[in-house]
Amino acid sequence: MQKYLKLTNQLVSNFDHVEFAQIPRDQNAEADEVARSISAGDQEKVAGWKLEEQNSPSIEEFQTFPVHTHSGWTSPILSYLKDGRLPPNLEEAKKIQKQAAWFTVLNDKLYNRGFSQPYLRCIEEEEAKYVLEVVHGGVCSDHSKPKSLVGKIMRTSYF
């Protein structure tokens, strides 16, 4: 609705004088008849009307693509598992190769894998802060023990 309000304000700025009037319900019988006829499926009445079908929104939206630009702890492991790229430092490269054995990539997301546990999704610091704020903060904030806090995080719809 904010986009429509912005568009309306832009269009209004093109005119010298604009007046908006709210039509009381008792004076809006024609619109009520249209709504009732459509919802009841009264094809005889609808057949005589001039209808226009709008197949796309009047607000043009541009598609955006998220870009992973920051370099966190998951970036070197992800680049190694996805593209086989290692840093030029030999010691650092060996370290990443050893770490990568415990991780896997599913749907372009990094997961930690263990022997007797499900895959655990790896997240960056800002995502972790957000999850903790949602689960631990707000009206229901409490000082729960670690196991119950982890349980809340696992039940959160964020993942």
Q: What is the pLDDT of residues 108-118, one digit of tens each?
A: 888 888 777 77
pLDDT, residue 139, reads 53
3-state secondary structure of 85: coil
Is residue 105 in some structural domain? yes
Confidence bin at 91 (pLDDT 50/70/90): very high
Strand 109-112 relative to strand 120-121: parallel, antiparallel, unpaired? antiparallel
Is residue 75 in some structural domain? yes
75 and 113, same domain (yes or no):
yes
List pLDDT tens digits, range 66-81: 544 556 788 888 888 8
87 and 108, same domain (yes or no):
yes
104 and 131, same domain (yes or no):
no
> Structurally, how many domains does the chain consist of?
2
pLDDT, residue 60, reads 67
74 and 88, same domain (yes or no):
yes
Is residue 12 in some structural domain? no
Is residue 55 in some structural domain? no
Range of the structural domain that residue 157 is part of: 124-159
Is residue 15 in some structural domain? no
107 and 130, same domain (yes or no):
no
For residue 52, how many other CB atoms are within 10 A of its CB?
4
Is residue 30 in some structural domain? no
pLDDT at 124 over 70: yes
117 and 74, same domain (yes or no):
yes
Question: Looking at the whole model, is its pTM more than 0.85?
Answer: no
Task: Give CA separation, 152 vs 72, 91, 149, in Å.
Answer: 25, 39, 5
107 and 129, same domain (yes or no):
no
Is residue 85 in some structural domain? yes
pLDDT, residue 140, reads 55
79 and 95, same domain (yes or no):
yes
List the 103-106 sheet strands across, edge first.
Answer: 103-106, 109-112, 120-121
pLDDT at 90 over 60: yes
Is residue 48 in some structural domain? no
